[in-house]
Structure 1
Amino acid sequence: MAVFKIVHITKYQYNWPIKESINEIRLFPHNFDNQDVLQHQLLITNNPDVQISKDYYGNRVGNFDNLEVHEEMTIESRMLVRVNHSLKIPEIDTATVQDLEKEKGKSIALLRLSYPETITKQKKIIAILKKINCVGKPIIEIAQQCNYYVFKTFIYTKGITNIETTIDEILEIKKGVCQDFAHILLQLLRTAGIPARYVSGYICPNENGLRGEGATHAWVEFYSPTQGWLGLDPTNNIWTMDNHVKLSVGRNFNDCTPVKGTFKGLSKQTLSVCVSIGYEDGRQFEEINDVKLQEVSIEEQKQLNYKEQQQQQQQQ
């Protein structure tokens, strides 16, 4: 069991003032199995009214409009969370994919999480599963072997992918970060007939040198008919532990995006994310990341260049 004080700060900056931003956030840790939220506070620039609801997967979702003209917007989520994943290390389990069929027949949610994404390189995914030789093996063994394959085959590399990178692209370059590793593992498990879901959260440093520590993290949970949802971290080839703090779950990253939205106005935005993690013994860990956003269109770039030229002429 472990208690963490986490501060997650998302900062958007704009090179020109914008009139309005409309946002959707999933920054509300809630009481999943083996995780208790002791405190939570949300602070947003201009203090907008946040409408909170639940999505299809049970995540708390906040929606708000920041109507005032601004050149910067900060969303700060402060939480105190107690985690105990010790009971989630799976027991010896002989349940097979065939044993899942009755479960999927009774649950639309499980069935929905069993379909792999439509990709052009699906034959490569099938070839990987043949290499692993999943036929007749217990679900837990298949999941472990797929997890190890992703960990061993794909190189953990920051800055080479972004939130728009596809599974096909990851299979091609064989590099990426936790989000990419999770998407590949999901594709393998679902193709094998195992319901699996994407998990967004944090992995808190424990001086073991885990990849992705101290920042937003992603991993996978798959469903066992006898033990329920079990978590695997393909970035580190481990089962989820006491230092995995869960925010939200969904089919993929898009279902779990911590912050997404749009704004009115012609401006180029930059995004940085700072995650600070405090321990019961007073230790503190902080990491700041500049997030690689989707490139603006050629037309938008032309308009931005024209606006900048006008500003320079006015200053001369």
Structure 2
Amino acid sequence: MATYFIKHVTKYSYDNPVIDAANQLRLHPINDEFQNVNSHYLVITNNAHVQTYLDYYKNIVGSFMITEAITELYIESNIEVTTFSKILPEDTIAAKTQWKELENIKYDDPFVDFLIHKPFSGTNELAQIIEEKQIKHKTVYQALQELCDYVYNLIKYTKGVTKVDSSIDEVWKIKAGVCQDFTNIMLQALRMCGIPARYVSGYICPNSDNTRGEGATHAWIEAYIPFYGWLGFDPTNNTIANDCHVRLAVGRDYSDCAPVKGVFKGNANANLFVKVNVSTSKSDEDLILPETPMSSIKNNSYKRHMERIQQQQQQQ
């Protein structure tokens, strides 16, 4: 069990006024038997009112609109959450029985959504690796551990070489990226094996000097293990997701889990700043905004209605 205090700041600065800023948030942490949300509140420009609803995957989604002209949109999410470790699978059921169960449920809701995958440039190579590792001769739990280790060693953790919309083909070609890229490769591998796997957006809380993904939102996968349930795996850190992982949302991919996205009216360029601070003690200190923005979004206008995405690539 662990308790964390998380402050997540997103700031857009526009070089011309914009109006009718409509936004969608997936910043409300999941509340269940493994994660207890002690408190959560949002601070938003113009004290915007946030309405919430549950999406198809049971994520809490917030939405708001600012009709007035603004040159800055500030969104601050403050969370106090207590997490609990899962009891890991005993893994005593025969591998053949587990794979047969996966075959039986592959068209059931919600598993069918988490098995869909499209061929990509590395499909044949990845299929060969799966065959060489004899994945389907092992239990599902063993297969997940082995594939997590494979992706961890395949991709070089490198910031700035990919973008939020980089394709799996691009990542496979350069074998480098950040947590979203590790996650997408592992999702592809698991779905090719017939293991239901879903994308998870959230935070990783520091538990060692080598933790990757601190400083912004993090991504990992959850896979379904027959006769057990869903279990998280973090290929960026080659670990099972535990009480150091705080979940915000789950879905088929990043688009189902994007922390912040929206549209506005106006002919403006936007500079984006994102920062996350995670602590085991409560602090009232403000996060320092940099003089140079972390990224720039060009030509955002109502004609293009381009989705503003809080870039997962800004994971530190």
Structure-2-length-normalised TM-score = 0.87
The verdict on how the C-alpha distance between 1:284 and 1:174 changes in structure 2, with shifts beyond 3 A counting, is farther
Structure 1 residue aligned with 2:103, among 101, 104, 126?
Answer: 101
Matches within 5 A, 1:52-71: 52-71=52-71
Cα distance in 2 between the residues matched to 1:20 and 1:244: 35
Q: Which runs of 4+ in 1 moved over 6 A?
A: 281-289
Q: Which has the higher helix share?
A: 1
Cα distance in 2 between the residues matched to 1:186 and 1:288: 34
Partner of 2:90: 91
Matches within 5 A, 1:162-241: 162-241=163-242
Cα RMSD of the aligned pairs, angstroms, is 2.4
Matches within 5 A, 1:153-168: 153-168=154-169
Figure out how many residues of one structure are paired with residues of the other and give that number. Answer: 296
Deviation at 1:284, TM superposition (A): 9.1
Deviation at 1:131, TM superposition (A): 3.0
Contact 2:91–2:139, Cα closer than 8 Å, also in 1: no
Contact 2:269–2:298, Cα closer than 8 Å, also in 1: no
SS in 1 for 2:90: coil
The verdict on how the C-alpha distance between 1:225 and 1:283 changes in structure 2, with shifts beyond 3 A counting, is farther
Flag structure 2 segments of 5+ consecutive residues without an equivalent.
Answer: 304-316
Once the two structures are superposed, residues 121-147 of structure 1 have per-residue CA deviations (whole angstroms, 9 ceiling, x without a partner) of: 322321231232213221111111111
Contact 1:215–1:287, Cα closer than 8 Å, also in 2: no
Structure-1-length-normalised TM-score = 0.87
The verdict on how the C-alpha distance between 1:126 and 1:52 changes in structure 2, with shifts beyond 3 A counting, is same
Cα distance in 1 between the residues matched to 2:289 and 2:210: 18
The verdict on how the C-alpha distance between 1:8 and 1:227 changes in structure 2, with shifts beyond 3 A counting, is same
The verdict on how the C-alpha distance between 1:280 and 1:86 changes in structure 2, with shifts beyond 3 A counting, is farther
Cα distance in 1 between the residues matched to 2:287 and 2:195: 36
SS in 2 for 1:19: strand
Query: Which one is further off, 283-292 or 20-29?
Result: 283-292
Once the two structures are superposed, residues 6-65 of structure 1 have per-residue CA deviations (whole angstroms, 9 ceiling, x without a partner) of: 111111111111122111110001313311001010111011222211111000001111
The verdict on how the C-alpha distance between 1:43 and 1:156 changes in structure 2, with shifts beyond 3 A counting, is same
Flag structure 1 segments of 5+ consecutive residues without an equivalent.
Answer: 301-316
Cα distance in 1 between the residues matched to 2:249 and 2:140: 24
Deviation at 1:161, TM superposition (A): 0.9
Query: Which one is further off, 89-98 or 39-48?
Result: 89-98
The verdict on how the C-alpha distance between 1:288 and 1:244 changes in structure 2, with shifts beyond 3 A counting, is farther
Deviation at 1:208, TM superposition (A): 3.8
Matches within 5 A, 1:256-267: 256-267=257-268
